[in-house]
Amino acid sequence: MEAKKETVKTEALEARYERYKGILKDLTIMSDVFMRNVFKKRECTEYVLQVIMEKKDLRIIDQVLQKDYKNLQGRSAVLDCVARDSDGKQMDVEIQQDNEGASPKRARYHSGLMDMNTLNPGQDFDELPESYVIFITRDDVLGYGLPIYHVKRKIEEVSENFKDEAHIIYVNSKKQDDTELGRLMHDLHCKNAGDMHSKILADRVHELKETQKGVEFMCREMEQIYSEGIESGMEKGELKKAKETALSLAEMGLSVDKIAQAVKISVDTVQEWIKESMSIAN
Per the model's pLDDT, the better-predicted residue between 123 and 237 turns out to be 123
Give how far Cα 219 sits from Cα of 20, 77, 225, 266, Å. Answer: 6, 26, 10, 28
Q: How far apart are CA 205 and CA 214, in angstroms?
A: 9
pLDDT digit string, tens, across residues 81-105: 999 999 999 999 999 877 667 899 9
> Strand 154-155 to strand 160-161: parallel, antiparallel, or no bridges (unpaired)?
antiparallel
pLDDT digit string, tens, across residues 164-174: 999 999 999 99
Nearest to 132 by CA among 29, 244, 54, 41: 54
pTM, two decimal places: 0.79
Q: Coil, strand or helix: which one is 120?
A: coil
Q: How far apart are CA 96 and CA 81, in angstroms?
A: 12
Q: How far apart are CA 67 and CA 36, in angstroms?
A: 11
Per the model's pLDDT, the better-predicted residue between 79 and 225 turns out to be 79
Q: How far apart are CA 48 and CA 58, in angstroms?
A: 10
Q: Which helix (H) or strand (E) holds 132?
A: strand 131-137
pLDDT digit string, tens, across residues 100-142: 678 999 999 999 999 999 988 889 999 999 999 999 999 999 9
Which amino acid is located at 175 in the chain? Answer: K
Residue environment code for 157-183, b if the CB has 16+ CB neighbours within 10 A, otherwise e: eeeeeeeeebbbbbbbbebbeeeebbe
| Angle formed at CA 16 by CA 10 and CA 21, multiple of 5 degrees | 125
Instruction: Assess whether pLDDT exceeds 50 at residue 277.
Output: yes
Instruction: Assess whether pLDDT exceeds 50 at residue 234.
Output: no
Beta-carbon contacts of 199 under 8 Å, excluding residues fewer than 6 positions away, are: none
Question: How many residues does the structure list for the chain?
Answer: 282
Looking at residue 62, its pLDDT comes to 95
Q: How far apart are CA 245 and CA 235, in angstroms?
A: 12
Q: How far apart are CA 258 and CA 144, in angstroms?
A: 40
Which amino acid is located at 194 in the chain? Answer: G
Q: How far apart are CA 199 and CA 126, in angstroms?
A: 39
Q: How far apart are CA 126 and CA 140, in angstroms?
A: 34
> Strand 76-85 to strand 60-70: parallel, antiparallel, or no bridges (unpaired)?
antiparallel
pLDDT digit string, tens, across residues 131-174: 999 999 999 999 999 999 999 999 999 999 999 999 999 999 99
Looking at residue 170, its pLDDT comes to 98
Q: Among 60-74, 131-145, 214-228, 251-265, which stretch is predicted with the lowest mean pLDDT?
A: 251-265
Looking at residue 238, its pLDDT comes to 63
